[in-house]
Amino acid sequence: MLNHAFDRLERSFEQATRFSTDASHELKTPLTIMRGEIESALKSEVENPRIESLLDGLLIETQRFCHIVEKLLLLSRADVGALTLIKEVLDFSVICHELVEDAQILAEPKRVTTEFEISPDVKVLADESFLRRILLNLLDNAIKYNVEGGSLSISLTKSGALAVFRITNSGPGISKEHESRVFETLLSG
């Protein structure tokens, strides 16, 4: 009886994962076409500010939808163990300096000041695309959940063979009830 319930649960999980993967694939093509058409329309001579504003809004929403579909596809692949990581030795110091540049641009609207301390020549073995995605997600959250006029600090040091990356802000912190879900949010973005 219990085995039967587990089998049904596993089949349901597989069906949900397959649906998510199939839906993500099916949505990518029309979204790419929509984005291309909107970008093309924006490049044409649009002399009506109302139409241009409408197209800008549509482009932003389409890009947001594309991002959601990419995350669904990523999570589906991870769920079935089909996520392919291309690990290589990366200069984490260089990546962190680029992150600092992004931080300064993204923090400006909230008047958040940025500080950084990046040790040179810190190397890591990682998939560059996923590492950058996680770092940008951390950065985005550190700015989004900061206070207006607050501060943001990024540091990278070495501790023996380990790279130690820290990002902190002057925001209120993570509430106790959300602490257990931090990595869920981090990976799903």
* pLDDT per residue as tens digits for the range 72-89: 777 766 666 666 778 999
> Comparing 3-17, 75-89, 129-143, which segment has the lowest mean pLDDT?
3-17
Sequence-distant (≥ 6) Cβ neighbours of residue 59 within 8 angstroms:
35, 38, 39, 42
Q: Does domain 87-188 have CATH number 3.30.565.10?
A: yes
Is the per-residue pLDDT at 92 higher than 50? Answer: yes
CA–CA distance, 38 with 137 (Å, rounded to integer): 27
The residue to which tokens 């991870």 are assigned: 78
pLDDT of 34 over the 90 cut: no
CA distance 22 to 25: 5
Give the integer Cα–Cα distance in Å for 67 and 185: 14
Distance from C-alpha of 184 to C-alpha of 1, rounded to nearest angstrom: 32
CB atoms within 10 A of CB 94: 13
Residue 185, pLDDT score: 47
CATH topology of domain 2-79: Helix Hairpins (1.10.287)
What confidence tens digit (pLDDT) does each residue in 149-182 have? 999 999 999 999 999 999 999 988 877 887 777 6
Residue spans per domain, the chain: 2-79, 87-188
